[in-house]
Structure 1
Amino acid sequence: MSASSRADLPEPQQPLLTTVALVASCVAFVVIGALQALYGPAIPALREEYGISPAVAGFSLSAHFIGALLGVLVYHVMRGRLNDRVLLGGSYVLMAAGAVAFAFSPSWILALVGTFVTGLGFGGIDYGLNQLFAIGFGNRSPAMLNLLNGHFGVGAIAGPALIGWLGAEDYPEVFVGIGVISLLLMVTLGGVAAREPEPAPAGSAPAGGARVLPVIAVFIGIYVLHVAIETGVGGWEPTHLEAVGYGAATAATATSAYWAAMTIGRFVVAPLSLRWSAPSILTVCCAGMAGFLLLATVPALAPYAYFGVGLMIAPIFPTCLPWLNRAVPGVAAAGAYVIAASMIGGVAFPPLLGALIDTVDVKTAPLVLFALAVVCTALSLWLRRNAPDRGGVAARSGTGRTDAVATRGT
């Protein structure tokens, strides 16, 4: 999952999170990681229970991401009026209520309402905890953010594996469990500080003389497309693998492996980022996504190709956010808006891919995703030319000072 770089901020006078609240935050990210990854493996049971088509079943993901998008925006707007304890508590309640409603819904329409409410809580927890970790640990914030988002990957691995073990028809019990854990996490909110330190002033002009709006727009495009690919693979990989001859258990296991690759990829890229610039990592990852998605059209290679796609997607979110902040240091809210806009891919793409499956064949899914990855690669090349990451490169060459100044106030 993703967060802004705050490595240059001074250590706060008092911690924003106690040890108990820190552990609870990591558990919360396990929960939201599992939640996002559960919809795809549950689709066969949803289709059977409600008598719906693949395109209609895909709206479960869309309703979730619409809610998540609004959850991010509402949390961002309300942070000036309410403290994080209240906002996080409300997010946990919404996620619990939505998960239980989805599990016990008597109709598909009400089930979609449940996924929307769940998404509202999901978005608030995702944005709120990332923000707290970004500003709450001073120079240790980047390491803590990696720890936090690594737990998202743990949940994304465990969710489909649990569905594969229990059976897709038992998805209601899993969603009820998510609701119960969400409510239990509220007990730890006393460990969240009521006030946050004031951020440092924002910088001035964008790096390299690039124009601000086009640069932000291209970053948004990359985020929308890579999230579309991420959710497209996570949601429809099981269906595609079953269509080309794999069993349901194998397809669910392969989906878990895909989410595992996204977790592994974030750890693998950490040492590489000390030697490679953010533009280089982004370009390689986008091109790699395209290559592996092309390989996924070959049935014998498809499960392994999807694992490769996960490895390539993993570094994009955490790599691009610090680069964005250095490229447009005068736009303090750029990171928040890009995170929110990235969810458009999760909102729009699942039903579009489902409609294509209805009219053509599920075997075309990798080719559609490949086309998106090609566009993503083209956008990454444009950014390399128009928003070079000079601050990041300077820091990696050992000066350190340029990067700290460039990211101040992000």
Structure 2
Amino acid sequence: MTDTDTETRSVAAGRLFSRPAAVASCAGFVLIGMLQALYGPAVPGLREEFGLSPSGAGLGLSLHFTGGVVGVLAFNAIHSRISNRALLAASYGLMAVGAAGFALAPDWPLALCAAFLGGLGFGGIDYGLNQLFAVGFGDRSTAMLNVLNAHFGIGAVLGPAVVAWLGPGEYAYAFGACAVPAALLIIFGSSGVRTRAVDETPAAVERPLGLPRVLVGFLTLYILNVGVEAGVGGWEPTHLETVGYSAAVAASATSVYWLMMTAGRFLVVPITLRYSPERILTICAAGMTVCLLLARVKEVAPVAYAGVGLFIAPVFPTGLPWLNRALPQAKRAGAWVIAASMAGGVAAPPLLGAGIEASGIHAVPWLLTALSAASLAATVWLIRLTRRNVD
């Protein structure tokens, strides 16, 4: 049997990815996780290289996230006019150029431009693969989305480890190490992906959104969960030190939190094959809320924060298939949700910081519990809305 025959059979079966393409996609998510995680550890090297203030050095990550939001919305806007392969190849190309440009930039303005370009590619990959995995594996789509996003966590752990091994002053080598595989994935990451754009059938032609409350509900759910995710990651070490833990223990506990997020996405895979996304997300929101309440108790706070990582892990990937099922007529809903989650990741830490300034560090668990409880309420509300619309 020829390769063409195999691809034809895959298309007929509705499969978007060959097995090698699925593996390459997971490698792509390791790469975008690593690239995003490099900016923070590289700050000391950037300050020394370009003579920057701490806030100036932080602009690199800000431009990366800005490019990510623009990339999600831009690639979503043109996805119906280009193939899946073209979308992925262009995204990997932008990421390769951005990472290489950041590594080689002779001055800070050019480095910021490169960070924005890399962010555009990051957004294209984040949107493209999440969207394609959400519809490309049938009943296994929820499980495969969790596997895909777990690889992002692997990259997020690897990035700081690489900078720590090389030293902050050698950050350019770390960014260059991202550029090379990104360039290779231009070919290997897009071949084996069905070229026809998703949902070209007449039934999926975009119409005015008939269920705006459902979309608002999903946007709210994702923004709240990203707020909890970024809030724990940003403020857990400060809170633990304030209640009496050493800086080393606090930093280690935060690393465990991120590792639990990665592990949780792998662990939930068999569960997604038996239970609906709605049930899983309800349990996750309730578990997060209980763990954050327990984080008020000094003796169990590090374990409680690790529990938050475990429960929050499945939320982002598990919610996307539910979204596509609830709003099949709104092709852009997934892009708006992904973009909102990125924007929430940028806005949540400073907003929480303002609340902490007003209430004190000891209020961290209370503030995060409020966000988590609101997430639980949004999940229950969404279940009622989507069931009503199905009925």
Indicate the TM-score class for this superposition, using the shorter chain for normalisation.
Answer: 0.7 to 0.9
Q: CA deviation at 1:307?
A: 1.4
Structure 1 distance, partners of 2:57, 2:355, is: 13
Does structure 1 conserve the Cα–Cα contact (< 8 Å) formed by 2:282 and 2:380?
A: yes
1:342 matched to which residue of 2?
Answer: 341
Q: CA deviation at 1:354?
A: 5.3
CA RMSD of aligned residues (A): 3.8
Q: CA deviation at 1:164?
A: 4.9
Residue identity in the other structure for 1:333:
R
Does structure 1 conserve the Cα–Cα contact (< 8 Å) formed by 2:146 and 2:318?
A: no
CA gap of 1:135–1:351, structure 2 versus 1, over 3 A, is same
CA gap of 1:325–1:78, structure 2 versus 1, over 3 A, is closer
CA gap of 1:62–1:327, structure 2 versus 1, over 3 A, is same
1:83 matched to which residue of 2?
Answer: 83
Residue identity in the other structure for 2:225:
H
CA gap of 1:390–1:77, structure 2 versus 1, over 3 A, is closer
2:53 matched to which residue of 1?
Answer: 51
Between stretches 311-320 and 101-110, larger displacement belongs to 101-110
Q: Which has the higher contact order (CA 8 A, sep 6+)?
A: 1
2:328 matched to which residue of 1?
Answer: 329
CA gap of 1:143–1:300, structure 2 versus 1, over 3 A, is closer
CA gap of 1:44–1:365, structure 2 versus 1, over 3 A, is farther
1:402 matched to which residue of 2?
Answer: none
Q: CA deviation at 1:242?
A: 5.9
CA gap of 1:290–1:107, structure 2 versus 1, over 3 A, is farther
CA gap of 1:147–1:94, structure 2 versus 1, over 3 A, is same
1:4 matched to which residue of 2?
Answer: none
Structure 1 distance, partners of 2:295, 2:46, is: 25
Identity among equivalent pairs (%): 53
Between stretches 214-223 and 12-21, larger displacement belongs to 12-21
CA gap of 1:42–1:291, structure 2 versus 1, over 3 A, is farther
The answer to whether residue 374 in structure 2 is matched with residue 375 in structure 1 is yes
C-alpha distance after superposition, 1:274-316 (max 9, x if no partner): 5654333323322332333344455554432321111111121
1:1-400 alignment, distance < 5 Å: 12-13=11-12, 16-42=16-42, 50-52=52-54, 60-103=60-103, 111-137=111-137, 141-166=141-166, 170-189=170-189, 191-193=191-193, 195-196=195-196, 199=199, 200=201, 202=203, 212-237=211-236, 250-273=249-272, 276-297=275-296, 300-353=299-352, 365-388=364-387
Does structure 2 conserve the Cα–Cα contact (< 8 Å) formed by 1:261 and 1:308?
A: yes
1:207 matched to which residue of 2?
Answer: none
C-alpha distance after superposition, 1:36-89 (max 9, x if no partner): 344455567667863325xx6665544332211111111112223333333323
CA gap of 1:279–1:247, structure 2 versus 1, over 3 A, is same
C-alpha distance after superposition, 1:261-280 (max 9, x if no partner): 12222233344445654333
Structure 2 distance, partners of 1:63, 1:114, is: 9
CA gap of 1:120–1:300, structure 2 versus 1, over 3 A, is farther
Unaligned runs of 5+ in 2: 1-8
Does structure 1 conserve the Cα–Cα contact (< 8 Å) formed by 2:131 and 2:334?
A: no
Between stretches 192-201 and 31-40, larger displacement belongs to 192-201
Q: CA deviation at 1:136?
A: 4.5
Does structure 1 conserve the Cα–Cα contact (< 8 Å) formed by 2:134 and 2:321?
A: no
CA gap of 1:270–1:356, structure 2 versus 1, over 3 A, is same
CA gap of 1:168–1:359, structure 2 versus 1, over 3 A, is farther
C-alpha distance after superposition, 1:174-208 (max 9, x if no partner): 2232122212322425624572266355489xxxx
Residue identity in the other structure for 2:178:
I
Q: Secondary structure at the match of 1:50?
A: coil
C-alpha distance after superposition, 1:203-253 (max 9, x if no partner): 89xxxxxx7111210111111121222233334545655666666665554
Does structure 1 conserve the Cα–Cα contact (< 8 Å) formed by 2:88 and 2:190?
A: no
C-alpha distance after superposition, 1:3-56 (max 9, x if no partner): xxxxxxx95238654554433222111111223344455567667863325xx6
Structure ranking higher in helix proportion: 2
CA gap of 1:18–1:106, structure 2 versus 1, over 3 A, is same
Between stretches 287-296 and 41-50, larger displacement belongs to 41-50
TM value normalised by structure 1 = 0.75
Residue identity in the other structure for 1:331:
A
